[in-house]
Structure 1
Amino acid sequence: FFQKFTQPKAESSKRKHRSSCACATSLFFLVVVSISSMSHSSWCTAGGSGKGVCPFSVALFAGSAFSYLNYVRLRSKSAVAKCCIDEHKQTYIIAGDIGGTNSRFALHRPGQKDPLLVHIYPNEEALKTAPTYHHATLMPFLKKCLAEVDEWKALGEKEVLSQIQIVGCLATAGPVTTNNDVFMVNLGENGGSIDGNEIEQCQDGLLSLVVRCKLVNDFVGQGYGVLDLDYDKEVIELLPGSKAKMNDLAPICCVGAGTGLGECFLTKSSLATKLGYECYPSEGGHADYVPRGPLEVELLDYLKRKFSSDHRISVERVVSGRGLANVYEFLAQKFPTKVDKSVHEEFLNAGDQQGRVIGVNSSTEGSLAQQAVQIMCAAYGSEVGNAALKFIPTGGMFVTGGLAPKNIGMIQGEDSPFMKAYLDKGRMNGLIESIPIFAVMNEDVGLRGARVCAEREYNAM
């Protein structure tokens, strides 16, 4: 199943051919060995008396039988997966980009990039009363589709339930298990779970339309979404000449800060480049935060106390929307005389939007809000540089997520806090300067990638 999901349809058909050949081979050996064991068992008996059964034939028979039964088992599983699609119904694609703060959904027809409907739900508000994540966000989105998408409106709810089916992919901010579920540490106050199998099995009203709901890591979505960008209109070169330096056979890396911090990389097979890029998630945002100066050392100590950690703090505690809030909290307690009371009061009452409050107020020269954004952006650039050293992504390093376009003034330019830290890699400065790097100015990259993943899932069914 994983191979089906990660490979194009053409490759899937080749595997089917090989499986058919394996089946034919197994059947051939079954027949030949059966005849051999019945007609020539005397070959292996003492004196050729013709009594008994050849042990070698029995072993071959057992091996062939096992191979064939395993093939039947795998084909049965494939048949179960295929039966999810009813060829008499109209299929739609739902893409979801599920972050810690917001859930973005888009409805598409298969094979079409332009969405029929897009909507964003703030998680904190949506999750207050609903029993499950899918009741909190996916159900309202389906109701919105019924109310606003012309072809759904024309059918009415009863006909929609009988004539439409949905294949979806949700790109979620957390490590997805092999059971198609995820626990997102940034979802809600104490984290929350999303279960793709539970969504598929739910028969509650419009949720019953979903016949397949694949979960992927949110940065798998970001990675595939990067491939869908217009590099002339939707990105900014952070080093001059980056577009000209891109190597279309080389790795691509994506690092993005929003509510949390995510990282992924993409590669092509050197033996089959026509298959395109394959994206691999990581939890690089939870690598250790490394302070770059005396004030940041104090920040590290503060965060270790705050989060009851004796030895380390993850870089996400600094480089993210919530990380920005952490940095401001530290500065406010260290420099109480510099606190702007109105900004501080707004910050304290902002809930999960505290980082946004600091970002909005960071244009005030000399303010703690400005200093907090500078510290965060320097740590951001340093971490992006670390990823560049690890993957050498001469296919492109892409800085994505909501914080990049909102703070582009502190990211763009070689004298910005971000780029100063990014380029500060000692003996490897020359290598870092050779890597094309871009800031992505669109915030729908994860949603685009989730659509690509949903299309792959649909084509594999």
Structure 2
Amino acid sequence: MIANKLAHRPRFPLQADTNLGNFRYLICGDNSYPDPPYGLVNLLSEGWPHVLGSNLAKLIGQHMSQDFQTFSLPRSDLEVLKNMKHLKDDKELTSHLHYQVHYVNLFYRIQSCRGSSAVKSFAMSCLTLFLLQCIYFLEGRQTVLRRPRESASFMGEQLVIVGDCGGTNTRLVLYSIVPNASSPSRGERAPGALIFKKRYKNEDFREFKEIVSVFLKESGIDILPKIACLACAGPIVNNTVDFTNLKGGWFISGSDLQSFFGIEYVQLINDFLAMGYGVLTLNTSECLKVNEALPQEGGVIAVIGAGTGLGECFLTQDPDNKKYTCFPSEGGHCDWSPHNELECELLNYARKKYNHRNRISAERIISGNGLSLIYEFLSNVKFPGEINQEVYEEWKASGAQKSSIIAKYAKTCSLCRKSMDVFFNAYASETGNAMLKWLPTGGFYITGGIGASNLEYFTIDGKFLKTATDKGRVSDTIKRCPIYVAKVDDVGERGAHLYAFELLKKKYSICKSSSMVNDPKRQVPYSETISVKLEYHVLTD
């Protein structure tokens, strides 16, 4: 009996600051975990701590006027038991360790108080299972109240969550990774076996935690991931981010996600830091070459990508070890400059819409939201007589997916086609601007879902290349920089995967060198950031 296993431990009462290691020892004695009686578990609950708590609270309530009347329990203990049924989620359990402290102390008081032995034994069994589940949950072992699947054994590999969290969609991927695997070569993805992946629309969720909760549930895993690396669309400050292009705004904190889900470490990185490392995994078949320029060995690499917003970054190679390091930027928020009369009118329209008197950022035009703004301007101001009513109504009803409607009807709707032309002219101009800033002789990469889904706009009549390189006296300089368009839309996800692999590898090497691999009582700190410097060579064709 579990209750008998617990009866001999005398170290009570516990204090509210009791750490998890001591807490586990006081309940289980050593590092072993007693097997719960599954018949009782199935009778009591579906498998979560607060459900067990509710059942125990109901038990107390049912017998309050009978056997429990004779129990010598303080009123505060009865209040604790009553409150168990109000713990609505696991955050309330994991964020307040003193709850478990109360329950452990209460266990011993129930054991020693007067009352019906049958009811008392049943109450102690409920409470014991509840406590054990808390321990398993806090340590990422959610299998205590359900039989673990045999396939859940990963033979030394570690589970890692990789995320590409944009303004419209969030892609989450679960990998099983061997920490001491070799780093990838050019054109190769980071090591890891794919376990589960899913894309979610942000507008379907109130907050980011809901997406992660659904993902973990749908993945069917029985153990929590070791690390999560999330590439987020916004500036990262102290491992937190405010999403800049999400209606209503989301705030994500890495440390909050750690404590809420029990993941050992959550690292947030800028989405274009991930995008920069992601282009290093692209092979030649995954890139459309726009011009004939050849890459220069060791040259600067730069990246631009239009999605919900507009991102830019660059990578430089260390001359000694030949390894690239990525540097994100907020270049998408530089001023946008029109090229013709139509674009000047668009600029004035955007100024009024966003209440900006002096400027409009490039991201307001060159992004999914920008493409929607262009269509809105052409429909409402310039060419209302060309509106296709069916397309227009579908566009209005499409929420955060408006840009995809415009691209969808570009071949059949004149306003959609004109919108795409204006958009890609502006995209080409900003491509040239970014190339002027960094002179990416190692390669300039255009990434993001809009580019990958509309490759023909980069080659039609050479318009894109002509606009991009139309930079007056220095046009010949940037013509020497090779331009590639990524044909795939998971570049950011790949970069986050690579970054997560290096985090895990660093953690493993620290543990190994410190002889702490199997010592759960000692914690190895992670750094807030990590420089993922990998040796790569530039594309040659």
C-alpha separation between the residues in 1 aligned to 2:193 and 2:369?
Answer: 32
- Candidates 348, 355, 379, aligned match of 2:403: 355
Q: Secondary structure at the match of 2:326?
A: strand
Corresponding residue of 1:18: none
Q: Counterpart in 2 of 1:342?
A: 390
Residues 45-444 of structure 1 mapped to structure 2, 5 A cutoff: 91-110=158-177, 111=181, 112-127=191-206, 132-134=207-209, 136-146=210-220, 152=221, 157=222, 160=223, 164-177=224-237, 179-187=238-246, 189-202=247-260, 207-208=261-262, 210-231=263-284, 233-240=285-292, 242=293, 245-273=294-322, 276-334=323-381, 335-364=383-412, 367-413=414-460, 415-416=462-463, 418-444=464-490
Residue by residue over 1:65-121, the C-alpha shift from the partner in whole angstroms, topping out at 9 and shown as x without a partner, is: xxxxxxxxxxxxxxxxxxx999x9852111100011110111112242442221111
CA change 1:406–1:213 in 2 (3 A) is same
**CA distance, structure 2, for counterparts of residue 286 and residue 430 of structure 1:** 26
The alpha-carbon deviation at position 459 of structure 1 amounts to: 2.2
| Aligned residue type for 1:168 | A
Pair 144,123 (structure 1): closer, same or farther in 2 beyond 3 Å: same
Distance in 2 of aligned mates of 1:414 and 1:422 = 13
Q: CA deviation at 1:165?
A: 3.9
Judge conservation of contact 2:236–2:268 (CA < 8 Å) in 1.
yes
Q: Does the aligned pair in 2 maintain the 1:238–1:413 contact within 8 Å?
A: no
Post-superposition offset of 1:419: 2.1
Query: 4+ runs of 1 displaced by more than 4 Å?
Result: none
Alpha-carbon contact 2:161-2:225 (below 8 Å) kept: no
Equivalent position amino acid for 2:267 in 1: K
| 1:174 alignment partner AA | G
Q: CA deviation at 1:431?
A: 1.2
Name the SS of the counterpart of 1:182 in structure 2: strand
2:296 counterpart SS class: coil
Deviation at 1:140, TM superposition (A): 1.3
Deviation per CA, 1:33-76: give whole Å up to 9, x if none. xxxxxxxxxxxxxxxxxxxxxxxxxxxxxxxxxxxxxxxxxxxx
Q: Are the aligned partners of 2:162 and 2:500 in contact in 1 as well (CA < 8 Å)?
A: yes
- State the SS of the aligned residue for 1:120: strand
Asked if 2 retains the 8 angstrom alpha-carbon contact of 1:181 and 1:193, the reply is: yes
In structure 1, list runs of 5 or more residues that go unmatched: 1-83, 147-151
1:460 shift after superposition: 2.4
Q: Distance in 2 between matches of 1:113 and 1:433?
A: 38
Structure 2: gaps spanning 5 or more residues: 1-138, 142-154, 182-190, 508-541
Residue identity opposite 1:434 in structure 2: R
User: 1:270 and 1:90, CA in 2 relative to 1: closer, same or farther beyond 3 A?
Assistant: closer
- Local SS of the residue matching 2:299: coil
**1:150-193 CA-partner distances (Å, limit 9, x unpaired):** xx4xxxx4xx3xxx54211100000000x200001212x22211
- The offset of 1:213, in angstroms, is 0.6
CA contact (8 A) 2:309 2:368 kept: yes
TM-score (norm 1): 0.72
Percent identity between matched residues is 37
For 1:115 and 1:89, locate their aligned partners in 2 and report how far apart those are by CA, in whole Å.
Answer: 16
Q: Which amino acid aligns with 1:119?
A: K
Q: CA deviation at 1:336?
A: 1.1
Mapped to 2, the partners of 1:278 and 1:374 lie a distance apart of 35
| Residues in 1 aligned to 2:330 and 2:236: alpha-carbon distance in whole angstroms | 11
Greater relative contact order: 1 or 2 (C-alpha under 8 angstroms, separation 6 or more)? 1
1:445 and 2:491 aligned: yes
Residue 25 of structure 1 corresponds to: none
For residues 479 and 140 of structure 2, what CA distance do their matches in structure 1 show? 49
Report the Cα offset of residue 199 of structure 1.
0.5
Bigger share in helix: 1
Cα distance between partner residues in 2 of 1:114 and 1:392: 37
Per-residue deviation, 1:137: 1.1
**SS at 1:272's partner residue?**
coil
8 A contact 1:172–1:217 mirrored in 2: yes
The answer to whether the Cα contact below 8 Å between 1:378 and 1:420 also exists between their aligned partners in 2 is: no
Amino acid at match of 2:407: G
Whether contact under 8 Å (1:239, 1:436) holds in the other structure is: yes
Q: Secondary structure at the match of 2:297?
A: coil
* Whole-angstrom distance in 2 between the partners of 1:415 and 1:397: 17
| Partner-residue secondary structure (3-state), 1:397 | strand
Using the alignment, how far apart are the partners of 1:347 and 1:414 within structure 2? Answer: 29
Q: Partner letter of residue 196 of structure 1?
A: G
Q: Distance in 1 between matches of 2:392 and 2:373?
A: 13
Q: Please report the RMSD computed on the Cα atoms of aligned residues, expressed in angstroms.
A: 2.0
Shift of 1:126: 2.5
Residue number in structure 1 paired with 2:82? none
What's the secondary structure of 2:164's corresponding residue?
A: strand
CA-CA distance at 1:412 after TM superposition: 2.1
Instruction: Count the aligned residue pairs.
Output: 344
- Whose Rg is larger? 2
CA distance in 1, matches of 2:225, 2:346: 51
State the distance in 2 between where 1:165 and 1:101 align. Answer: 25
How far is the alpha carbon of 1:413 from its aligned partner? 4.5
Does the 8 Å CA contact 2:157/2:176 hold for their aligned counterparts?
Answer: no
Aligned counterparts of 2:239 and 2:268: Cα–Cα separation in 1: 6
Q: Which amino acid aligns with 2:367?
A: S
More displaced stretch, 427-436 vs 108-117: 108-117
CA shift in 2, pair 1:398/1:143, >3 Å: same
TM-score, normalization by structure 2: 0.61
CA contact (8 A) 2:295 2:441 kept: yes
Q: Which amino acid aligns with 1:237?
A: K
Distance in structure 1 (CA, Å) of the matches to 2:166 and 2:225: 25
